[in-house]
Amino acid sequence: MAETTKTLADIKKLAKDGKLIIGKEKTLAMLKSAGVAEVYLASNCPEHIRKDVSYYAEFAGVPVGTLDLPSDELGVSLKKSFAITVCSLPKGG
């Protein structure tokens, strides 16, 4: 499985532009419909979520990257009042 090359600054810009999908359920739904280009996981992403996302990403041929931030810091970095474990970039985004 390929790794992503986006930095936190890139992800912040995508979020600011409204081009970032936030959340496991939305990301999995978009992976199943082949609508995701890349997936990003927080450093403390639970193993069962990591396995689910990796499973569907492998079938879709989508790279999955692990960020150097835990979920609570990722949420703060993206100016959300909640922790973010999974986020993704939609195709064409």
Task: Locate the domains of the chain by residue range.
Answer: 8-90
Contacts (Cβ under 8 Å, ≥6 apart) of 22:
15, 78, 80, 84, 86, 87
Q: Per-residue pLDDT for 89 more than 70?
A: yes
What is the reported pTM? 0.89
Whether 28 contacts 50, CB under 8 Å: no
**DSSP state at residue 23:** S
pLDDT band at 8 (very low <50, low <70, confident <90, very high): confident
Q: What is the CATH number of domain 8-90?
A: 3.30.1330.30
The whole-chain average pLDDT of the chain stands at 91
With a cut of 80, say whether residue 13 has pLDDT above it.
yes
